[in-house]
Structure 1
């Protein structure tokens, strides 16, 4: 007898054997037991999660002849159950919509709807990949789907429910199948290996389950390949070679080099990875996943992995968000590059290029830097001489006219510039600068306020900041925008007065547009 692949050999023959879809199985069982079976079912979900398998099980339940009515536990022994399982039932028609998209095929199918089932309880139509049907086919199906004969049940499966017309979905009981968790897949594969007499370990099964990405069928296909590759057994190193999987230690080493700005070490690690003949798309995905873990640990501190904890402690949080976006962008465009290797190299170069200057070639952690910064601030405070309150405003020249220019001279982060640049100078009283704005404009994070106060003290001495509600009529951002508009109009006027440019514009019926460069 020819070999039967694992995906077919271990296809569930009852609802108890279905994994990861308890919510769908429960709905079907309840509807059968309560005799409230819907006239049409739509099973949606990604590939290999059990859409057609569950549809066939439902067909067996409805037509099982071991009882006088539909049952939630098919016997798998009666003629009807066996014929459905073997694809030989004349009352169970399975149609592949991808190869029968035309309206003439649908009309041919519907012509047999009113004919009573030959030997079974129901005449059941299973339309796989139903979203592939043409618009005309859907229109032909609508009326029958809404009021089918009592002996007819429609079962439909799709990987893309968005392409199924709403008018069709509204006539069906839609059941969405989810991807199966990695733990459930690993346990399922372990049981299969035991039944097949295949030696395996948890690491190799975990690798297969991870690569399956929630698909039972894909996972069983990979398991078949891994068993063949390992000559009848599963060994982690062999599975890694087959799948092109990279050891986590190399990913952590690569990410650590990026964090510290060690360019040579980063590319040395990449060269070491190349010797393993990796799947570069999977490499990028693993790198992005590890950056995601670092970002989560920075907020939740929930990781138990020592390398992740170490990287999270010294990586700037904003930089972490930036390189995640760089990695994601590179992953999405990997197939547009001349080669996957080049895509990964350019991704690393971008990550290293945007490395914060203060962090490059530094082994200090974020905690150490914060302590050092606090110590410096305290030292500055002690060394600064006391400021005479009576001459504070005059000596610094702080007033509503000078404030925008003074504000623009301060070295602030983009966040602080955006928040405080929208506020106007109100007054200077008792060593305190009062800024005003609307209620929404005054809703500034404490972290940004602290940064701004430090910059003010560095520039003007021991002066505090006060915020109050008021009309922000002359904020630095508003004045900067007005000055920009004036400069543009001035430039346009100067260009328009040039005789050569004027002749050119008249010749081609053109106009002058000023393009400004966005500053980094």
Structure 2
């Protein structure tokens, strides 16, 4: 973890936080709201480090004792809330780690900063306990709530915090970052960027993931022969796909991007803007054999399959209906 300057995108949030530091208008509570891996923790850590930096700038210097402690997640005045139950932050967690601790002055810094990750997991009693602290915090306290869904917070908590919505980062920024920092070829950067949908953390994860490459290769192998597959082979294909149940949304996303490439090539005959440019021969072949309506039917069927699995419809049945639709179209 480094400072604000190392964070890709999120310029408005970085500017807001740095202005708050420079103008000495730091709020006692912030909500960082955005999807998993979208950069919430990096923003929170960079903010905390800058607030505690002994150089008193708007960016952590990385060199002072305080910054070195922050970089190693070992700063006595930057506290990360822990919770034993994986899906719940309880009232005891809040009382023991925040309410009982916040009255103690900072050990060596200007601020005492509490970072609550996955804050949407606070139950109502925990939120009410935290509210009492947010309503009357000590002057040195800063509470950072990181969440994928701020809608679950009590209106009284929302009204007493500054909410910063962590938005998608532009594809070109993510693509350039992956190629520069991870030294991956442009076609792989395109694929990771397309799947990340503006989420830098997910793009980084995909860039270094062998599992993702395995899923991609499995999906593409099926897609390239879907037209010729016999009905008796379909059950074997479904059995193979079931190996990726936990990553089935990634599997569906690969398929969706493939068919969008087929649709794009059919409409433009231009391979330059394809995500799977290295598969142009097979994309061209499918585009010539498919109608616009057929491709759009498949893309709709993929979206429908996602919805059905989210509603706990039988996995094998969903996949059978999907593969039949793909074969017919």
TM over 0.5: yes
Aligned to 1:74: 60
- Are 2:185 and 1:201 aligned? yes
Structure 1 alignment gaps of length 5 or more: 1-10, 195-199, 230-238, 258-264, 356-520
Query: Which of these residues, 270, 274, 277, is aligned with residue 304 of structure 1?
Result: 270
Distance 1:96 1:53 in 2: 18
Distance 1:122 1:159 in 2: 26
Q: Say if 1:165 and 1:296 are closer, same or farther in 2 by CA, change over 3 A.
A: farther
Distance 2:157 2:269 in 1: 46
Alignment map for 1:410-425 (pairs within 5 Å): none
Distance 1:98 1:27 in 2: 34
1:156 is displaced (CA, Å) by 1.1
Query: Which of these residues, 134, 143, 146, is aligned with residue 135 of structure 2?
Result: 146
1:309 is displaced (CA, Å) by 11
* Other structure's SS at 1:175 match: strand
Please tell me whether the aligned partners of residues 97 and 130 of structure 1 are also in contact (alpha carbons under 8 angstroms).
no
**C-alpha deviations, 1:408-435, integer Å up to 9, x for none?**
xxxxxxxxxxxxxxxxxxxxxxxxxxxx
Q: Say if 1:325 and 1:145 are closer, same or farther in 2 by CA, change over 3 A.
A: same
- Are 2:320 and 1:329 aligned? no
Query: Which of these residues, 291, 307, 328, is aligned with residue 315 of structure 1?
Result: 291
The structure having more radius of gyration, on CA atoms, is 1
Aligned to 2:77: 91
Q: Say if 1:338 and 1:37 are closer, same or farther in 2 by CA, change over 3 A.
A: closer
**C-alpha deviations, 1:318-376, integer Å up to 9, x for none?**
x665444333222333574454xx644422424666x7xxxxxxxxxxxxxxxxxxxxx
Aligned to 1:244: 217
Alignment map for 1:69-468 (pairs within 5 Å): 71-96=57-82, 99=85, 101-108=89-96, 109-194=98-183, 200-212=184-196, 214-226=198-210, 240-241=213-214, 243-244=216-217, 246-247=219-220, 251=223, 254=226, 265=228, 267=230, 281=248, 282-291=250-259, 304-305=270-271, 311=287, 315=291, 317=293, 322-334=297-309, 336-337=313-314, 339=316, 343-350=318-325
Root-mean-square deviation (CA, aligned residues, Å) is 3.8
1:173 is displaced (CA, Å) by 0.9
Please tell me whether the aligned partners of residues 195 and 253 of structure 2 are also in contact (alpha carbons under 8 angstroms).
no
Distance 2:146 2:10 in 1: 15
Aligned length: 306
Aligned to 2:51: 62
Distance 1:165 1:295 in 2: 45
Distance 2:208 2:155 in 1: 39
| TM-score normalised by structure 2 residue count | 0.75
1:103 is displaced (CA, Å) by 1.9
